[in-house]
Amino acid sequence: RGYYAKQIKEWWKHFPKEQLLIVQSEEFYRDTPRVYNEIVEYLGLKSYTLPTFEAKNALKYAKMAPETKEKLKAYFAPKNEELYELLGKRFDWQ
């Protein structure tokens, strides 16, 4: 599921790039009101201020073993580089 460039390329086969807004979830969780407003504006919707922004699907996970984290970083590094090149921007993923 983390091979995002492949998934985005599939979407782009069916929709123009301008019709898809790609939002980094970490950015959304870090500054929900700002990103929410960017999404509303992108969609051309009337501005609406939500009374609260509560995380409803944020789960807590056990700490990952360092060796597992290193394996995952190595595995996803080229896939993430492909994504960054595709989008023309980098995410703050470790």
7-48 pLDDT tens trace:
999 999 999 999 999 999 889 888 989 999 999 999 999 988
Q: Could you tell me the two tokens for 15?
A: 């929709």
Q: Residue 83 burial (CB < 10 Å; 0-12/13-18/19+)?
A: buried
Q: What is the pLDDT of residues 82-91, one digit of tens each?
A: 999 999 999 8
| pLDDT exceeds 80 at position 58 | no
Mean of pLDDT values over 64-78: 94
| pLDDT exceeds 80 at position 57 | no
CA of residue 73 relative to chain centroid, distance: 17
Q: Is 33 helix (H, G, I), strand (E, B) or coil?
A: helix
44: enclosing H helix or E strand:
none
Nearest Cα to Cα of residue 2 among 92, 90, 72: 72
Q: What is the pTM of this model?
A: 0.78
